[in-house]
Amino acid sequence: MDLQIDLVPGSPLRLQLEEALRDAIRSGRLLPGSLLPPSRVLAQELSVSRGVVLDSYSQLVAEGYLVAKRGSGTRVATLPAPWGLPGAPEPRHHTPFRYDLRPGQADFHAFPRRRWQAAVAQALRELPDTRLTYGPHRGAPELRIAVAAYLRRARAIVAEADQVVISCGVSHGLVAVLAALRRRGARRIAVEDPGWRWQRRTVVRVGLEAVPVRVDDEGLVVSDLAAVGADAVMVTAAHQYPTGVVLSPARRDALITWAGERNALILEDDYDAEYRYDREPVAALQSLAPDRVAYVGTVSKTLAPALRIGWIVAPARLLGDIEQEFRVSAAQPPTIDQVALATMIQDGGLDRHLRAMRRRYRGKRQLLIDTLAQHAPALRISGAAAGLHVMAWLPAGRDEHAVALRAGEHSVGVHELHRNCMTESEWPPALLLGYALPTDSEITAGAQLLAQAIG
Asked if residue 420 is part of any domain, the answer here is yes
Burial 425-437 (b: 16+ CB within 10 A, else e): bebebbbbbbbbb
User: In the prediction, which pLDDT does 35 show?
Assistant: 85
Asked if residue 94 is part of any domain, the answer here is no
* CATH code for the domain in which residue 70 is found: 1.10.10.10
Asked if residue 90 is part of any domain, the answer here is no
Asked if residue 1 is part of any domain, the answer here is no
C-alpha to C-alpha distance for 218 and 223, rounded to whole angstroms: 12
Asked if residue 313 is part of any domain, the answer here is yes
Residues 119-133: tens digit of each pLDDT: 999 999 999 999 999
C-alpha to C-alpha distance for 390 and 135, rounded to whole angstroms: 40
Asked if residue 93 is part of any domain, the answer here is no
C-alpha to C-alpha distance for 124 and 8, rounded to whole angstroms: 65
Residues 316-361: tens digit of each pLDDT: 999 999 998 888 777 889 999 999 999 999 999 999 999 999 999 9
- Comparing 167-181, 268-282, 373-387, 407-421, the range with the smallest average pLDDT is 268-282
> 326 and 360: one domain?
no
Asked if residue 144 is part of any domain, the answer here is yes
Which one-letter amino acid corresponds to residue 89?
A: P
Number of domains in the chain: 3
Name 67's bridge partners.
Answer: 75
Asked if residue 271 is part of any domain, the answer here is yes
C-alpha to C-alpha distance for 103 and 393, rounded to whole angstroms: 15
In this structure, the chain runs to a length of 455
Question: If you average pLDDT over residues 311-317, what whole number do you get?
Answer: 96
Has residue 438 got a pLDDT over 60?
yes
> 184 and 195: one domain?
yes
C-alpha to C-alpha distance for 440 and 21, rounded to whole angstroms: 47
Question: If you average pLDDT over residues 196-218, what whole number do you get?
Answer: 90
User: In the prediction, which pLDDT does 88 show?
Assistant: 37
- Comparing 125-129, 188-192, 224-228, 246-250, the range with the smallest average pLDDT is 224-228
* CATH code for the domain in which residue 287 is found: 3.40.640.10
> 147 and 255: one domain?
yes
User: In the prediction, which pLDDT does 116 show?
Assistant: 97
Q: Which of 15-29, 46-60, 70-84, 88-102 has the highest mean pLDDT?
A: 46-60
Q: pLDDT averaged over the chain?
A: 89
Has residue 87 got a pLDDT over 50?
no
Q: Which domain holds residue 416?
A: 99-108+352-454
> 339 and 370: one domain?
no
* CATH code for the domain in which residue 432 is found: 3.90.1150.10
